[in-house]
């Protein structure tokens, strides 16, 4: 079997380009309020980016810190990979 050179990992890893572009677009629509309709998507992506499988927190005020950190982490992830 011939040895293949290592494949360069995408700068968007663990997302692909399409997922990265969607995330970037979704984050642009979020300011101080995270619509409930986006919560599942945001939590799935933050788990993927962090390499974790943590259950999604509720939408109540007591979980606001978790959501704030999730959005901050995703914004940092996007900012670090912008072209």
At residue 75, the pLDDT reads 97
Q: How far apart are CA 26 and CA 56, in angstroms?
A: 18
Domain that holds residue 26: 17-81
**Residue 9 maps to a domain:** no
* Residue closest to 14 by CA, chosen among 83, 60, 74: 74
For residues 40 and 28, is the Cβ–Cβ distance under 8 A? no
At residue 42, the pLDDT reads 97
**Residue 58 maps to a domain:** yes
pTM here is: 0.86
Total domain count, the chain: 1
Q: How far apart are CA 68 and CA 71, in angstroms?
A: 5
**Per-residue model confidence as pLDDT tens digits over 21-71:** 999 999 999 988 889 899 999 999 999 999 999 999 999 999 999 999 999
**Residue 49 maps to a domain:** yes
């Amino acid at each position: 079997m011939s040895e293949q050179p290592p494949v360069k990992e995408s700068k968007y890893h663990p997302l692909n380009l399409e997922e990265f572009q969607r995330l970037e677009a979704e984050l642009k629509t979020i300011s101080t309020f995270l619509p409930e309709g986006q919560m599942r998507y945001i939590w799935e992506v933050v788990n993927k980016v962090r390499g974790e499988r943590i259950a999604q927190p509720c939408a109540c005020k007591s979980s606001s810190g978790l959501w704030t950190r999730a959005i901050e982490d995703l914004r940092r992830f996007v900012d670090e990979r912008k072209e």
